Structures are given as C-alpha cells and as structure tokens.
Amino acid sequence: MSFAMDLLLLGTSWAHVLLAPYTKVEESFNLHATHDVLMYGVGRDNLYKFDHNTFPGAVPRTFIGSMLLAWLTSPVAYVASQWGLLSTKLDLQIAVRLVLATLNATGFMLIRRAVCRRFGRPTGLMYVLLTCSQFHLPFWMGRTLPNMFALFPVNLGFYALYDRAPQSKYPTRRSVDVAFALLTFTAVVFRSEVALLLAPLAIQALLLRHTSFLRLIIVGFLSGMLSIALTVAIDSYLWNQWPVWPELYGIYFNVFQGKSSEWGTSPIHAYFLSHLPKLLLGSLPLAVLGAVVDGRVQALIHPPLLFIGLISSLGHKEWRFIIYVVPLFNIAAARGAWWMVSRRKGGLFGRMMFLAAMGILVLNCAITVVSTRASMANYPGGSALATFDNQYAGKHAVHVHISNLAAQTGASLFLQSHSPPYIPSITALATGDWVYNKTESLSLRDLTTSTSFTHLIAESSVEFIKTGRWKLVDSVQGFSRWKWSLPRGGIAKILEVPLHQWLNVLQMETNDQLYILERSE
C-alpha cells in the first residue's frame, strides 16, 4: 500500500510533465540556467555564454537550484540516451523537469509517511488522493519556478516537524533544529517569503516548548550565516559581481522599492478568498472539518493561516507565494475526509458523508482534467518552435526570429534543436548552422529590411504578407476559452441525448496565436 501511494504521487507529477512539456516565461531563468550548466559547465571560460548575460531579468536570481538540478539530471540524461530514450534537446528539457518533479514528489512521499505515522494509514491514503486530485501543485511541481525549488526543503522541514507517533506531543529537539535550519536556508537562498512562514512556526514551537529561544536563535544564526555565505559565493561568481545575494536584492526591489506592484496589486483578502480556494479545491471545506474533529489538526493549520495573514499585507499577490502551505492544509483535509469516510456504515447520515467525500474527490479530478486540457494548449510558443524545427529539418543557414509571445510561451533554449550547444550524450544534428534570434522590440520594417532573417515566428501575419516579402507557412493555435454547448429543446428532448454526448457539453475553444512565416524573395 505504501509503495502504491508513493507511486501515485510520482506518477501524477510525471503525467503533468509529459502532458505539458513546454514552459513559460516565469520558469525561464532557472530553466535556462539549468540548460547552461548542463551544456557549458561552470568553468569561468564559459560563463560569458550563459543566457542571463543577455536576459538578466529585473533582479538577480540564485543559480543554486539550477546547478543542483543540472548535476542531478546529467547522469539521468546519460543513462536515458544509452537506452534510446533521449535524443533531442526537448527530450533533455523533459528529463530536467522529470528530475525536479521526482525531487518534489519525494518530499510529498516523506510527508505521506509522517501523516500515516501520526494519523494512521487511511488518513495517509486520503492525503495522497487529495494531493493527486488537485491541479496546481502536481502541475507545477515539475516546473522550474523558484518556488518549486523552495518547495522541497520546506517539505523536508515539515516532515522533520510532524513525523512523530500519534500520542507524542513533542518532536525531538534535533528534528526541530533540522526543520528550522532548512526553512532558514530556503528563505535565505530561494524564496524570502518563506521567512513569513518561519516566523509563526517558530512562535508556535516556543509556545509549545518544542525548543528554547536560545536554541532557536543559535540554529537560525548558524543556518542563516552558512546559507548567506553559500549563496553569495556561488551567485557572485556566476553573476560576475561582488557581492550578490539574490534574495536580498529581491526584497529590496519588491518590498522596499515597491516595484512588485508594477506587476499588479490585489485586495488584502485575495489569498483567503481567491488563491487559497483555487489551490485547495475540495480540500478547503475538508480542512475546516478536520480542524473541528481533531485537535492535533488545529495546531497544524495555525502557522499557515498566520503566514497567509502576514503575506496578505503585500500588495502584489500570486498563488505561488503561498504554495508551501498546501501540504499542511491537505493533511487537515485528509483527516476530515477520513472522518467522513469512516462513517459509511453509520446509517443514512454515514452513507451521505461517504458519498460527499467521494464526490469532493471526483469534483477535484473533474476540475483538474479541465485545467490540464487547457494548459496543454496554452504553450503556443513551444508548439510553434517544435513545429518549425520539424518542418525545416534538413535545411541549412536558417535564421528565425522568435517573437515575444513565442519566447514567453514555451520557445526555450532546449527547443533550439538545430544549433549548438549539445551535450555529449546527444548527437549534433547535421543542420547545426541555424540561428534562433529573440531580439525584442523589432518592428515590421526591421524584420523585413534585415536580409539575415529567413523565417519568423510572429504574433500576426497579415501585415507581413502585405509587404510581399513573406509568405505564410503555418499557424499555431492556443487556448482561448471554454464554452458550454448545452443540448437544445425541452426537457423531453434533453433527456433523449445519449450519455456520451454529455461529455462534450464543455468545449475548449482555440484560436491562431502564432504564425510561421518564410521569406519569399
């Protein structure tokens, strides 16, 4: 049973990677940093080739997660290539994402073990089912967002804090030390908002006498100093500046200068009323029930609630900033779900509780299927560049300009199949003389008068065709919206509709979003 539950966690995360292999702009820094470490290594002679020199972003970001991911992927890529499972750079991108998904799935497996030990195997099973039936966490845990690099050590910290026997009121002092060392490291290196989660956890640990104030200060100081030394040493070297502490830059830029508000602001209640329900789906009401029926759950969810309250004071809000609390709410929800399921033999009320719990899981799965289908069609840049590479395979001296939308929706460095660099386990293609150009803000005139461009992946086609110098080769569609297609007629007519047709009641609409153009001169 334990192996099956772990396999389900791993399989769900892998399925999302394989179904939607492309990436978006928010993942690009870490994805391209991983690409560069894999392809070039970290020797000083090759640092000038790294993508961040051309596209540095608003603030520096740490390379530590990308370096570790590249080093973990390298032997996997070698073995996969020997078995014939990896032959292109896109395959390598998928391998990178599968390794990250495996890492995060391992964190959830450890939490599952802690849940089984503290609350029992049935609650552990419900935890796995709820986690796998949600959309956001399984879909994103294999994506190279900084938050997904932070998720693994945060989950290790949760495991250290909550892995104890059912009747045990206190974790060991060593476990508490490990948990707060990991959370401190994560806040210093990967995501500074984790400090706002660390604070209520530390206060709770002090109030419950899980540790002493002096011990907490010593652990935090030592972990913090070592983490600062690590990130400053590595990131200063790779950014070729001294000193560089990326997360401190991020705090200064986003919080003290208030630049994060340029990406939009949300009302103070947005996390509680919008983002958290979207992340948890059916786990939200179940978590409330779990807190009511089990006092241990109440202590579990107080810190994440305080964390969300603290981070709500910041104007710019995104669901990924609070993703770390989802596992804790899912533990609470699993306890509530098992309470409902365990009453299935208790008459009509018990059967209703059982059906309600199963209904929540089914509804979670339905929402996840719809969301995944939309997401699969929401990376037109990746689809366009993959189509282009296949369509012109065998051609020489191709110079393609990649538009901003294409670059933001999947046209990553890993899809530049016909140009170097290559890792030794991937055979270089014969047409290795292509140029993939992502120069921004080029006008129609710039693209047309520059005779170096042979092809375009553009966001429109009509004005290019009107010049007489470009011809349309193909168009790539992307997700537009969902629409209802309800049967027409009276009740009797609707009842006559075959059951299989009801599966098409919700239909996905797509439209042309990118165009592949070839110079016609």
Look up tokens 């803000």; give the residue.
441
- Burial class for 464, CB neighbours closer than 10 Å (0-12, 13-18, 19+): buried
Q: Which residues contact 488 (CB under 8 A, 6 or more apart)?
A: none
For 240, left (φ over 0), alpha (ψ -120 to 50), or beta?
left
- Spatial CA neighbour of 17 closest among 76, 83, 104: 104
- Give the domain extent around 398: 380-519
Same domain, yes or no: 288 and 427: no
Distance separating alpha carbons of residues 432 and 420, to the nearest angstrom = 6
Same domain, yes or no: 321 and 403: no
Residue 427's pLDDT is: 62
Tell me which of 125-134, 317-326, 411-420, 504-513 is least confident: 504-513
The tokens for 398 are 């191709």
The tokens for 473 are 């080769």
Same domain, yes or no: 166 and 214: yes
Same domain, yes or no: 420 and 353: no
What mean pLDDT comes out for the span 453-477?
90
Is the confidence at residue 387, as pLDDT, over 80?
A: yes
Is the confidence at residue 128, as pLDDT, over 90?
A: yes
Of the three residues 345, 376, 407, the one that is the final residue of a domain is 376
Instruction: Determine how β-strand 470-484 pairs with β-strand 455-458.
Output: unpaired
Same domain, yes or no: 258 and 397: no
| Per-residue pLDDT tens digits for 218-239 | 999 999 999 999 999 999 999 9
Residue 98's pLDDT is: 97
Residue 439's pLDDT is: 87
Instruction: Determine how β-strand 470-484 pairs with β-strand 506-519.
Output: antiparallel
Is the confidence at residue 262, as pLDDT, over 60?
A: yes
Distance separating alpha carbons of residues 193 and 199, to the nearest angstrom = 10
The tokens for 222 are 């030592």
Distance separating alpha carbons of residues 168 and 235, to the nearest angstrom = 42
Tell me which of 224-228, 233-237, 250-254, 328-332 is least confident: 250-254
Is the confidence at residue 261, as pLDDT, over 80?
A: no
Q: Please write down the HEC assignment for all residues of 42-83.
A: CCHHHHHHCHHHCCCCCCCCCCHHHHHHHHHHHHHHHHHHHC
Is the confidence at residue 117, as pLDDT, over 70?
A: yes
Residue 495's pLDDT is: 56
Position 440, amino acid: E
Q: What share of residues in the chain are helix, strand, coil (percent, to 5)?
A: 65, 10, 30
Q: Which residues contact 23 (CB under 8 A, 6 or more apart)?
A: 31, 93, 97, 143, 144, 379, 382, 410, 412
Quote the DSSP letter at residue 23: -
- Spatial CA neighbour of 475 closest among 500, 499, 452, 457: 457
Same domain, yes or no: 329 and 229: yes
Total Cβ atoms within 10 A of residue 370:
14
Is the confidence at residue 499, as pLDDT, over 70?
A: no
Tell me which of 29-38, 158-167, 198-207, 324-333 is least confident: 158-167
Same domain, yes or no: 344 and 212: yes
Mean pLDDT of the chain: 89
Distance separating alpha carbons of residues 473 and 262, to the nearest angstrom = 38
Is the confidence at residue 498, as pLDDT, over 70?
A: no
Confidence of residue 307 (pLDDT cuts 50, 70, 90): very high
Of the three residues 353, 376, 399, the one that is the final residue of a domain is 376
Is the confidence at residue 137, as pLDDT, over 80?
A: yes
Same domain, yes or no: 327 and 417: no
- Spatial CA neighbour of 13 closest among 162, 203, 143, 119: 143
| Per-residue pLDDT tens digits for 342-384 | 888 777 888 898 999 999 999 999 999 999 999 999 999 999 9
| Per-residue pLDDT tens digits for 418-458 | 888 887 766 666 566 899 999 888 888 888 888 788 999 99
CB 426 within 8 A of CB 86: yes
Q: Which residues contact 233 (CB under 8 A, 6 or more apart)?
A: none
Same domain, yes or no: 370 and 455: no
Of the three residues 334, 354, 376, the one that is the final residue of a domain is 376
Confidence of residue 105 (pLDDT cuts 50, 70, 90): very high
The tokens for 225 are 């100093």
CB 132 within 8 A of CB 9: yes
Buried b or exposed e, range 124-161, using 16+ CB within 10 angstroms: bbbbbbbbbbbbbbbbbbbbbbbbbbbbbbbbbbbbbb
CB 343 within 8 A of CB 350: yes
Strands (E), 304-434: 399-402
Confidence of residue 73 (pLDDT cuts 50, 70, 90): very high
Domain count along the chain: 2
Residue 169's pLDDT is: 73
Tell me which of 79-93, 96-110, 260-274, 373-387 is least confident: 260-274
Distance separating alpha carbons of residues 253 and 89, to the nearest angstrom = 35
Distance separating alpha carbons of residues 339 and 336, to the nearest angstrom = 5
Residues recorded for the chain = 521
| Per-residue pLDDT tens digits for 161-186 | 998 877 777 788 899 999 999 999 99
- Spatial CA neighbour of 272 closest among 306, 239, 244, 298: 306
Same domain, yes or no: 308 and 188: yes
Q: Please write down the HEC assignment for all residues of 387-421.
A: HHHHHCCCCCCCEEEECHHHHHCCCCHHHCCCCCC
Is the confidence at residue 322, as pLDDT, over 80?
A: yes
| Percent of the chain predicted with pLDDT > 70 | 94
Q: Which residues contact 259 (CB under 8 A, 6 or more apart)?
A: 58, 253
Three-state secondary-structure class, residue 324: helix
Residue 496's pLDDT is: 59
Same domain, yes or no: 282 and 427: no
Residue 394's pLDDT is: 81
Higher pLDDT residue, 417 or 432?
Answer: 417
Same domain, yes or no: 412 and 369: no
